[in-house]
């Protein structure tokens, strides 16, 4: 999707959207897409300040509004502080996209698992996502009585991960978090998981297995015949927060070109 298109469907006109991990990759594209659709966007980052500023610049270049927030989502205190900052800045938050996550991208085999790899994934993907749902969902419920939370999951829960089992475990955990908070926050706040398949992010393109034949294998097994750029499915993720999806909560939406085809 080109940055030259200033607006697509104004599904988020007048709304506020916070995207975590929006300095790079999929998060950056979700944030930009939300701005194209009229949202005032919160761009969160932990260490990628330059990336967050670049995302904000892209948004402002098309006439959008962007605010940058920094927080380490691995700690509860930082998440509480982030929530306070977001409400102070925006006054209300319509959509939270929990995109940030650790995928152990350097680990190429389950045999290479280390304690710090396990801890990093569980702290960010499981504890961080749970506490973001907890703190932001509680404020959405108590302060404004409406909102949407989209947790970015993964298709890894379908097939598992021989490369990084802790990553598959964490993403399975996100499904449980989504269902739990979907129940406690209903009907005011909807909570869903969006699971993209492989996307050609910079991180993926630099992985050794991707450069040494895995891309071709996956392409051959994908009915749609493509491995998309993140921008291609950013709007699909945000669809879960639209009125068209108003009767979906606790759901798991797959967008992987038909690679997994789960279901009844």
What CATH number is given to the structural domain containing 51? 3.40.50.720
The answer to the question of residue 140 being in a domain is yes
Q: What's the pLDDT band for 3 if we cut at 50, 70, 90?
A: low
Domain count, the chain: 1
Across the range 184-197, mean pLDDT stands at 96
> Can you say whether the dihedral through the CA atoms of 134, 140, 142, 146 is positive or negative?
negative
Mean pLDDT on 155-181? 93
Q: What is the pLDDT of residues 22-60, one digit of tens each?
A: 999 999 999 999 999 999 999 999 999 999 999 999 999
Instruction: Summarize pLDDT for 107-124 with one digit per residue, the tens.
Output: 889 999 999 989 999 999
Q: Which of 45, 167, 181, 252 is catalytic?
A: 167
186 secondary structure, DSSP code = T
Q: Is the residue at 263 inside a domain?
A: no
Least Cα distance to 99 among 161, 55, 62 occurs for: 55
Lowest-confidence pick of 3-17, 172-186, 187-201: 3-17
Residue 7 within any structural domain of the chain: no
For residue 153, pLDDT beyond 50: yes
Q: What is the DSSP letter of 89?
A: H
Residue 132 within a domain? yes
Which residues is 69 bridged to in the sheet? 44
In a domain, 50, yes or no: yes
- Is 167 assigned a catalytic role? yes
Prior bond to 233 cis, omega within 30? no
Residue 6, pLDDT score: 61
Cα–Cα distance, 87 to 38 (Å, whole number): 19
SS3 68: strand
Range list of H helices, the chain: 25-36, 49-61, 76-90, 115-121, 129-139, 156-159, 165-185, 202-205, 208-209, 215-221, 230-239
In a domain, 264, yes or no: no
Helix orientation angle between 129-139 and 76-90, rounded to the nearest 10 degrees: 40
Q: Where is 66: in which H helix or E strand?
A: strand 65-70
Residue 65 burial (C-beta neighbours within 10 Å; 0-12, 13-18, 19+) = middle
Residue 2 lies in a domain: no
Asked if residue 112 belongs to a domain, the reply is yes
Kindly state the greatest CA–CA separation across the chain.
Answer: 51
pLDDT attached to residue 1: 44
Angle made by CA atoms 124, 121, 228, in degrees to the nearest 5: 90
Domain that holds residue 136: 16-199+230-252
Q: Which residue has the higher pLDDT, 92 or 219?
A: 92
């Amino acid at each position: 999707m080109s940055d030259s298109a200033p607006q697509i469907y104004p599904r988020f006109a007048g709304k506020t959207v916070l995207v975590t991990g929006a300095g790079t990759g999929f998060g950056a594209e979700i944030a930009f897409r939300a701005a194209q659709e009229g949202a005032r966007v919160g761009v969160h980052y932990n260490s990628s300040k330059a990336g967050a500023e670049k995302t904000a610049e892209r948004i402002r270049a098309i006439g959008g509004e962007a605010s940058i927030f920094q927080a380490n989502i691995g700690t509860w205190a930082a998440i509480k502080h982030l929530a306070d900052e977001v409400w102070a800045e925006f006054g209300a938050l319509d959509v939270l996209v929990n995109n940030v996550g650790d995928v152990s991208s350097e680990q190429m085999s389950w045999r290479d698992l280390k304690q710090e790899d396990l801890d990093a994934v569980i702290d960010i993907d499981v504890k961080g996502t749970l506490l973001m749902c907890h703190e932001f969902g509680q404020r959405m419920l108590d302060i404004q009585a409406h909102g949407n939370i989209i947790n970015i999951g993964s298709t890894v829960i379908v097939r598992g991960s021989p490369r990084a089992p802790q990553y598959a475990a964490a993403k399975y955990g996100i499904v449980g978090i989504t269902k739990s908070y979907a129940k406690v926050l209903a009907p005011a706040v909807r909570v869903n998981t969006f699971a993209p398949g492989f996307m050609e992010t910079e991180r993926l393109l630099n992985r050794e297995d991707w450069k040494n034949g895995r891309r071709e294998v996956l392409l051959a097994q994908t009915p749609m015949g493509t491995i998309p750029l993140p921008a291609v499915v950013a709007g699909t993720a945000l669809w879960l927060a639209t009125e068209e999806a108003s009767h979906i909560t606790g759901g798991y939406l797959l967008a992987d070109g038909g690679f997994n085809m789960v279901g009844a």
